[in-house]
Amino acid sequence: MPHRTTPGERGVQLLLAGWLAVTVLSQHPQRSFDALRRYDKVGAIPNWRFFAPFPIQHDYVLLYRVAGDDGQVTPWRRAMERQKRSWSSVVWSPGRRGEKSVLAVCAELVTDLLAGGQEAVRDGVPDRMLRAFVRQAALMDPETPADGRRCQFLICESGGYETAIAPKFLHASPFFALRPEAE
């Protein structure tokens, strides 16, 4: 004989399903979903965002531009394109390792900048690493002008998925030689 659920069991099932749905929705990176927590007086909706309770609240964006002999400067371009995400990225995303490494170097440079100013970052390890990365990106970019001699990088802070946060410019490097042998 099949088991029939009682109204009490059905109520518990609905309550747990609703709690699960609200928990999943409240993990969304867009802060507008945090409104659900306003009604949570006992802390039943967990915050499982990345490194909660202080989740990452911004992304770094690395841009560069190239200057030619004639003084013409290209528009700013991303040094790396964002990786497309799939559902499997929640568990396994080895393609993002390079991107995360560059962003970690940007974070290190910004930390040094805040601690010691412009002189603290000039020719430091993060600065040299970012120059090498930007050189490679610019030289591989088919839109880099053939007469390009110097380049410059810019680190911006972006709200990521939160489009209401305006980008913030953190550090623009001085121009440096596009080809290291020209230094």
Place of tokens 């609905």: 14
Q: How confident is the model at residue 138 (pLDDT cuts 50, 70, 90)?
A: very high
Instruction: Decide if pLDDT at 161 tops 70.
Output: no
Evaluate the omega torsion of the peptide bond into residue 53 and state whether it is cis, within 30 degrees of 0: yes
pLDDT for 150: 94
Segment (H or E) for 121: helix 118-121
The top-scoring range by mean pLDDT among 4-8, 161-165, 169-173 is 169-173
- Contacts of residue 53, defined as CB under 8 A and 6 or more positions apart, other chains included, come to 47
Average pLDDT over residues 56-81: 88
Q: Taking a C-beta distance cutoff of 8 angstroms, is the pair 26, 34 a contact?
A: yes
Q: Taking a C-beta distance cutoff of 8 angstroms, is the pair 60, 156 a contact?
A: yes
